[in-house]
Chain A
Amino acid sequence: MTQVAFSLFLVATLSVPLVTLMSHRWTKARALPPILLMGSLAVGIAVAAAGFYGGQKFVVDVSQVASFSFALSVDRLSAFFLLLICSVSLPVILFSSSYIPRHYSGARRHWLWVLLPLFLMSMVLVATASTPFAFLFGWELMTLFSAGLILIDGDSEQRRHNIFVYLLMMHAGAAAVIGAFLLFLPHAGNFAEMRASAAAMPPSLRTAVFLLAFVGFGTKAGIVPLHLWLPRAHPIAPSPVSALMSGVMLKTAIYGFVRFAFDFLGGGPSWWGYLVLLAGCVSGLLGVLYAIAEHDLKRLLAYHSVENIGIIYLGLGAALVFTANHAPLWAALALAAALLHCLNHAIFKSLLFLGAGAISDAAHTLDLEELGGLQKRMRVTGAVFLIACCSIVGLPLFNGFVSEWLTFRSFLAGSEMTSLSAAIILPLAAGVLALIGGLAAACFAKVYGVAFLGRPRSREAESANEVSLPMQAGMGALATACVVIGVFPGLVLRSMGKLTEELLPGVALPQAATSLSGVLPGIALFVLVLVAAIAALKRTKKLTATWACGLPGLNERMQYTSTAFSKPLRKVFSQVYKSDRTVEVVPGGPPYFPVSISYRSVRTTSFEKSLYRPGVDAIVAAAHRLRQLQTGNIQIYLLYIFAALIALLVFMRFV
């Protein structure tokens, strides 16, 4: 039954582009593509839920019909990611059904509705593939379709450069992933074969596979220093596409990494875990530090994706360390924490990007310095954005807290390991996670406070209006999910335990994981009652002007801007932000009253300056030198061929 439903889901999603192409003349059928897509996504959710909660497995095998090995199979891990993809995409598509007609028209709108389902299909393909061919097919398609979606939004010189960097880094990552698959030859027919043959691989080959998978999937996920494409590509995409890219596409990279490290290779020596932990720490810290310094909302959110991927990698690293130390119980907990954070991040990050889309729809700008006071004008958008901010900061009663708590719990268990390095490094990683959480709180207090609270800082912000109902509904659905998972985490954790049992055979989740689901609903009820009681008590309020210690003539420019809010933190962490500052003063008559002062601060991230630029320069220099081989003289070319022939003969003779 679920097999049929799965096939129906695939067919329905693939039909949406066709329907769009066929119906682009009829204005009445404009609403058809989104409705059809949402319907097929609903089917997808049902199918994935059956797979994740019910444990059913199903297969769609084309290789029996066609001549190339293309098969899809859904086990619990794939079902989880399929559920993630479909359940996050549904509200996003609901949002886009109103957003896209307002911002795009004509051919661009049609291409959006053609490419969006194809993009979703490619991600589904990656998550459910059971042969390397299908996996890589979907992998490349993801990159291409997302680049196409970005291109629809405009193709200025700057945008094309950013898309170029995006495609370049994605292909480099894909090359590493292909390499990882190739190392399994000749047993690389399908995943089951690979799993069986991995046990017999020598340790050096396993290490090579792990490193290639780490680099390849890490590029896609966006760990530092392979993250350069993230802040270039995510901000320039249309908001729903950014939501899908940041919320869902990055998770497919996590899926790939988990498949390789846990399913095929089954864990490895503990230095693998420490490497992943290091990547997680660095990404988490640098991601949030760069985010604090941003005032373009989408770039800020893109850097926060880097940070949350870092947190996920912290959980994965801990799981690898635990498997290496023969503690599968705690490895299961760490893995469950990482996977749950995937789901939570998908939900609240998409919500944040949709909120950014709503803001740009209402106020036509995404620069935090121009916003302000939006909460009073856009009540629903503001409320759901607040919920998303609380979730991403990891405050209790929202979903971000649950996965962070589980990660903390697994770090604490590191102290029980006999290995000294695990007992020291894992609890210290808890400190790093705490620092990341604190920085995220500071950053989102800034974002919500500057954009939604206080007074509007520009004309556009003053005239912002609430967005249309489908957009509100889409965001509202995601916000409800945040709160529900935050208060009742048991809904997901129980089946998560069965998932980790499949990957790390033989252990269920430790008692610690489920204890939280006992206490959170109680606390939530208590908090709700108390808040309601107090709110009911204080009824009288009187509206006055802002007091500000009696300062006269207070205007909106006197409020703290986003740059001002983050200044103390940027000053403390100034080693990270080496910015070039220029101050120009045009002097007037008396020395303290110049005619004008202009201040310019340009920040290039240190990775570009110190890591990438020298590398690029070295490659270009080497290429220049190699050019001398290309003389254009035909006799030299004949000489090359002849020399190769002689070398071959010598090689054969003496080896």
Chain B
Amino acid sequence: MKLAINTVQILLLLLLAPLVRGVIARLKARIQNRHGASVWRPYADLLKLFRKEDLVPDSASFVFRLAPIVLFTSTLVAAAFVPLLHGSALLDATGDFVLLVYLLALGRFFLMLGAMDGGSSFGGMGASREALVSTLAEAPFLLALVSVAIAARSNSIAGMVRWTLVQDFFQFSAVHALAFAALALVAIAETGRVPVDNPTTHLELTMIHEAMVLEYSGPSLALIEWASAIKLTVIMALLIALFVPWGAASSLSAMAIGIASLVLLVKIAALVLTLALVESSVAKLRMYLVPDFLGVASALAILAVVFTALMR
């Protein structure tokens, strides 16, 4: 039964991810006084791309076609670590947060290689900028998770969720507040949203993620787009699971799971709305101000770790 629910969790993440992207785009459009595309647009895009053929540059090697596959696979495995509906996930017992962070790093590494294999200047530019952002984002990401792990006395995401579930909602702890602030900033950098990167830009000089995928087409591009949608959803699910998990099912009855699904939808909707508001009201940062942005996240994460020792 547990296995079935955990598999359903992953499938939910897999299938809901494009919808999340569609809803964010629609909300942004509404906030900016435009009509916006339908929320089901990303699904149509994926179907269209899967039916086309892969166009591969003649100078590219096998890494070009391997990269999207590795990216998709590693993101999917990372999704198996995050508990959504109840306090456990498919790979929860030893699925600890270091493995989660490094699986996402594996996907990103291969995406950078694939970008450089295209043989154009934009691929190298995207890879070089992505190297800058991901290098500086990795330390605050890990440190914020370290601080929550120390507070929860557990290494696995599911363990941290179970600990938070038995805490008091109103007992705000400095560690969690700081870790949440740090993770929120890192989440924006990791998922490539404004103010770090604009996912809908068509000016090459402002691209980071988009520049890396300029040479891709067909099923490879579909895998990359899907993987980035899954990554966005996984990071949102991580934020929800670690900091506001109340409402998750404590037993495995159908009623509890049903309530948990509804609560989850509400929480994701709230996060989506916040993200759309932030993206519409803040300007994209100049690239050399992004280290400043991530420096703030690092300071908050370091303070969170120090507080775990001070507030014992």
Contacts and interface: CB of A to CB of B under 8 A. Distances in A.
Touch between chains A and B, by CB atoms below 8 Å: yes
B238 interface: no
Interface string A433-472: 0110111011001101110111100000000000000000
B159 to A, nearest CB: 12
B69 A546 contact: no
B117 A568 contact: no
Summarize B's interface: helix, strand, loop or mixed.
helix
Interface in B129-146: 129, 131-132, 134-143, 146
**Which of under 10, 10 to 19, 20 to 34, or 35 or more describes the interface residues of B?**
35 or more
A409 B155 contact: yes
Contact of B73 (A454, A530, A548, A569): A530
Contacts of B142: 408, 430-431, 434
B120 interface: yes
B278 to A, nearest CB: 24
B164 to A, nearest CB: 17
**B72, B73, B119: which has the most chain A beta carbons within 10 Å?**
B119
Contacts of B147: 427
B58 interface: yes
Nearest to A554: B120
B214 A435 contact: no
B98 A405 contact: yes
A428 B103 CA distance: 22
Contacts of A527: 73-74, 77
A408 B113 CA distance: 27
Contacts of B63: 375, 386, 452-453
Contacts of B215: 546-548
Chain A interface mostly helix, strand, loop or mixed?
Answer: helix
Contacts of A405: 98-99, 102
Given A412-B146, A430-B146, A431-B139, A523 B109 contact: no
B118 to A, nearest CB: 6
Contacts, number: 253
B98 A375 contact: no
A546 B120 contact: yes
A635 interface: no
Interface stretch (B39-47, B242-250, B265-273, B300-308): B300-308
Interface stretch (A218-226, A254-262, A559-567, A640-648): A559-567
A448 B131 CA distance: 13
A572 B135 CA distance: 11
A423 interface: yes
Given A449-B127, A559-B124, A572-B136, A515 B309 contact: no
Interface in B204-237: 204, 214-215, 218-220, 223
A185 interface: no
B58 A544 contact: yes
Given A405-B98, A441-B134, A538-B54, A560 B59 contact: no
A571 interface: yes
Nearest to B126: A560
A542 B116 contact: no
B223 to A, nearest CB: 7
Q: Which of B55, B139, B150, B306 counts the most chain A CB atoms within 10 A?
A: B139
Interface residues of A, number: 80
Contacts of B7: none
B206 to A, nearest CB: 13
A454 B123 CA distance: 10
Given A395-B109, A435-B139, A412 B150 contact: yes
Interface in A385-419: 386, 390, 393-397, 401, 405, 408-409, 412, 415
B102 A396 contact: yes
A560 B121 contact: yes
Contacts of B120: 546-549, 551, 554, 558-559
B172 interface: no
B54 A568 contact: no
A568 B220 contact: no
B88 to A, nearest CB: 15
A653 B124 CA distance: 79
A396 B99 CA distance: 7
Contacts of A397: 106
B173 interface: no
A439 B58 CA distance: 31
Contact of A449 (B108, B117, B132, B287): B117
A484 interface: no
A205 to B, nearest CB: 34
A594 interface: no
B94 interface: yes
A438 B135 contact: yes
Nearest to A567: B128
A453 B66 CA distance: 13
Contacts of A434: 101, 138-139, 141-143
Nearest to A556: B119
A25 interface: no
B95 interface: yes
Given A430-B142, A435-B135, A559-B124, A543 B56 contact: yes
B125 interface: yes
Nearest to A443: B131
A382 to B, nearest CB: 7
Nearest to A288: B135
A159 interface: no
B258 interface: no
A375 B62 contact: yes
A538 B217 CA distance: 12
B305 A442 contact: no
B288 interface: yes
B106 A438 contact: no
A117 interface: no
A540 interface: yes
A376 interface: yes
A373 interface: yes
B281 interface: no
Given A434-B143, A530-B73, A549-B214, A523 B91 contact: yes
A541 interface: yes
A548 B121 contact: yes
A515 B94 contact: yes
A264 to B, nearest CB: 32
A531 interface: yes
Contacts of B93: 515, 519
Nearest to B215: A547
Interface in A557-587: 558-560, 564-569, 571-572
22 contacts: A375-B62, A390-B106, A395-B105, A415-B309, A424-B306, A427-B147, A428-B302, A428-B305, A434-B138, A442-B132, A454-B116, A527-B74, A530-B73, A531-B66, A534-B72, A542-B56, A543-B56, A546-B59, A548-B122, A549-B122, A560-B125, A565-B124
The 10 A-B pairs of least Cβ separation, nearest first, read A560-B124, A449-B116, A548-B120, A442-B131, A438-B138, A438-B135, A423-B309, A375-B61, A434-B142, A568-B132
Given A430-B142, A434-B143, A548-B118, 10 more contacts: A373-B119, A395-B102, A431-B143, A434-B138, A453-B119, A522-B91, A527-B77, A531-B66, A541-B53, A541-B65
